[in-house]
Amino acid sequence: MKKVVKFGGSSLASAEQFQKAGDIIRKDFSRRYVVPSAPGKRNKEDVKVTDMLYQCYQLAEEEKDFSQLLSRIKARYDEIIQGLELNVSLQAEFDKIEANFYEKAGKDYAASRGEYLNGIIMAAYLGYEFIDAAQVIFFDEEDNFDAEKTNQILGQRLAVTEKAVVPGFYGARPDGSIKTFSRGGSDITGSIVARAVRADVYENWTDVSGFLIADPRIIDNPEKIETITYRELRELSYMGASVLHEEAIFPVRREGIPINIRNTNEPDDKGTWIVESTCQKSRFVITGIAGKRGFCSINIEKDMMNSEIGFGRKVLQAFEDNGIAFEHVPSGIDTMTIFVHQDEFMHKEQNVVAAIHRLADPDMIDIEADLALIAVVGRGMKSTRGTAGRIFSALAHANINVRMIDQGSSELNIIIGVKNEDFEEAIKAIYDIFVLVQL
């Protein structure tokens, strides 16, 4: 058995948290490859080391004094080292970082030091080999992640390494300079390492016991999701469920490696399994509900639209020309509606309207703002009669007007548009009808 374990920032925020992570790793010999984040928040008011590094580098770039902030960052690491009673000094590393800040080594370089230094401590603490991610994770000239080169070189390196720590979040460009993934990107590194060693499982240790059926800020104590497929997760994370970085599923998905989200503070909890496919029925017809506020719909009408070839293309061209991505396009016989993010669309709306008129010559355009989209996701839905019926009768009972319905072609989800102000009530109504009634 080979497991890759990634620990998030809150799991490594202090010596005490490091010890919990260490206990977890030592309990299972197959936990051979460890991917740490940078130290996160120790409490609500605390600041993540990554954010401190960004701030510190900003000062360096403005040619202001950054030495105090850099010392505070060093103190965070020293506290961990002392708490773990390790015989490690990061002084030389910090001297190098300081010099590189003066040289303006880049924002990505600065941010990456958070995981780099935590990796050094983790390797010393566990007695594992430290492998700098810059040697094994690669980006190309266009700053895109180079999956194949990475997989080859990282795979070869780890094939001859029994136990290793590879810091998360960054890699190197062809010229050797450092490039990071987007925020939260250590999740991606964990997945890349799992693919490279063909791990049996990718364990992602964080501060929650996996995914919940709905957002706990809306539903009191929601039930946990035990097993979810990659595709279901994709739908939910697109709509705002944010335990795992959106892109983290892609490397492991290629190899059919399951991800297990676990809680460092509750290590006996089984967490959530993310798998390619499963014969396990989920406990409820739906796997999860997620949603976002802040959408706008552009409703376009034109008589005989249905027989005008190319009408849709012309309309979408107007959005493309203005650099706006569309989210959903439900359509009727003589109507077509485009859903977009309100904040992206707002300051370009008149340009888009003019472009639609010019390109597609519609009879009428009507814009509606302040809409929310809710995705009800479940692999069980396509084989269960009446799912849509239950959703809409629950919403009707809650006095919520449904503005849009879109059943994704995957038959994995139903997307519902409501007014922003109905968002929370709608989620509660759907949760109640599928989950509460069954408990």
- Site of interaction with ligand ASP (CB under 6 A): 9, 37-38, 48, 50, 114, 168-169, 183-187
Nearer to ligand ASP, 210 or 362 (CB): 210
Contact predicate 236/64, CB 8 Å? no
Tell which residue, 200, 195, 129, has the closest CA to residue 166: 129
Provide the b/e sequence for 335-372 (b: ≥16 CB within 10 Å). Answer: bbbbbbebeebeebbeebbebbeebbebeebeebeebb
CB closer to ligand ASP, 114 vs 222: 114
Q: How far apart are CA 156 and CA 339, in angstroms?
A: 46
* Least distance to ligand ASP, CB of residue 182, Å: 8
User: Closest distance between ligand ASP and the C-beta of residue 163, in Å?
Assistant: 22
244 neighbors 253 (Cβ within 8 angstroms): no
Q: Which is nearer to ligand ASP, 242 or 393 (CB)?
A: 242
Q: Closest distance between ligand ASP and the C-beta of residue 379, in Å?
A: 28
Number of H helices, E strands in the chain: 14, 15
Considering the complex, state which of residue 237 and residue 282 has its C-beta at the smaller distance from ligand ASP: 237
Tokens, residue 195: 């693919």
Considering the complex, state which of residue 48 and residue 428 has its C-beta at the smaller distance from ligand ASP.
48
Separation CA 345–CA 33 (nearest Å): 44
Nearest distance in Å: CB 248, ligand ASP: 9
- Please say whether the dihedral angle defined by the alpha carbons of residues 304, 307, 309 and 312, taken in this order, is positive or negative: positive
Nearer to ligand ASP, 114 or 251 (CB): 114
- At 301, the amino acid letter reads E
Q: Which of 339, 333, 336 is nearest to 359 (CA)?
A: 336
SS3 category, 179: strand
Least Å distance between CB 350 and ligand ASP? 37
Beta-bridged to residue 291, according to DSSP, are 374
What does the radius of gyration of the chain's CA atoms come to, in whole angstroms? Answer: 24
Output DSSP code: residue 61: H
Give the shortest CB-16-to-ligand ASP separation in angstroms. Answer: 19
| Nearer Cβ to ligand ASP (207/425) | 207
In the complex, which residue's CB is closest to ligand ASP?
186
**Minimum distance between the CB of residue 48 and ligand ASP, rounded to whole angstroms?**
5
User: How far, in Å, are 86, 146, 372, 429, 430 from residue 397 at the CA level?
Assistant: 61, 51, 19, 8, 11
Least distance from C-beta 192 to ligand ASP, angstroms? Answer: 13
> 37 or 287, CB closer to ligand ASP?
37
Burial of 57 (0-12, 13-18, 19+ CB in 10 A): buried
DSSP for 246-300, written as a single string: GGGHHHHHHHT--EEEEETTSTTS--EEEES--SPPPSSS--EEEEEEEEEEEEE
CA distance 357 to 314: 10
Compare residues 53 and 433 and give the one whose CB is closer to ligand ASP. Answer: 53
Residue 298's φ and ψ, nearest 5 degrees, are -115, 110
Q: Considering beta carbons, is residue 183 or 281 the nearer one to ligand ASP?
A: 183
CA distance 408 to 363: 28
Q: How far is the CB of 186 from ligand ASP (least distance, A)?
A: 3
Shortest Cβ 207–ligand ASP spacing (Å): 12
Q: How far is the CB of 189 from ligand ASP (least distance, A)?
A: 8
Residue among 182 and 410 whose Cβ is closer to ligand ASP: 182
